[in-house]
Amino acid sequence: MKNKKKKDLFLPFEISGNYFIEIINNREVVLTGFFEIIELDKTVLKINCAEKNIVFSGNDIEIAEYSFDGFKIKGDIKNIEFK
């Protein structure tokens, strides 16, 4: 119910705690929302977001750009997991 209200209000992702993942291809992913990096490696990038952990795995994974409200991840992305 609480989440439904937030959705109805259409608040920004940072405030609502929601996130938005845009997969351009397997080499570029853009995440919008409030994130926290848990693990960064060349093969794995683990991010905590809205009580969920998102794991990007593959090869040569790197954070190309970041700002207060998002990331741009580049690399040979093979898996995206929600844990």
Partner 1 sequence: MIKKLIRYFKGYVDFYAEGAESEKLINHCIKNGIEILNPAKENYKLYGKIFSGEYKKLRKPAKILGLKIRIIKKSGLLFFAKKNKRKIGFAVGIAFVIFFNIIMNCFIWEINVTGNENINNYKETVLNIANENGLLTGTRSKKHFVQDIEWDILRKIPDLSSVEINIQGSVANIAIKRTAKEEKMVPDDDIPINLIASRYGVIEKIDVFDGQGLVKPGDAVMKGDLLVSAVFEDRHNKLTLKHSRANIIAKTDYNITAEFHFDQTLETISGKSNNLYILEILGKEFYINKKSENYNLPNTRNKKKISFFNIELPITLTKISFFDVKQNNITYNLNYAKSGAYELLLKKEKEELENAKIISRKTDEKIKDGKYIITANYIVLMDIAEEQPIESDIPWENSDDMS
Interacting residue ranges for partner 1, rule: CB under 8 A: 35-42, 62-64, 66-68
**Least distance (Å) from partner 1 to the CB of residue 17?**
16
CA nearest neighbour of 64 among 20, 24, 14? 24
Q: What is the DSSP letter of 1?
A: -
Of the two residues 11 and 38, which places its CB atom closer to partner 1 in the complex? Answer: 38
**Least distance (Å) from partner 1 to the CB of residue 50?**
15
Of the two residues 62 and 76, which places its CB atom closer to partner 1 in the complex? Answer: 62
In angstroms, the CA 31 to CA 20 distance is: 6
In angstroms, the CA 59 to CA 55 distance is: 13
Of the two residues 8 and 41, which places its CB atom closer to partner 1 in the complex? Answer: 41
The answer to whether 75 and 27 have CB atoms below 8 angstroms apart is: yes
**Least distance (Å) from partner 1 to the CB of residue 49?**
12
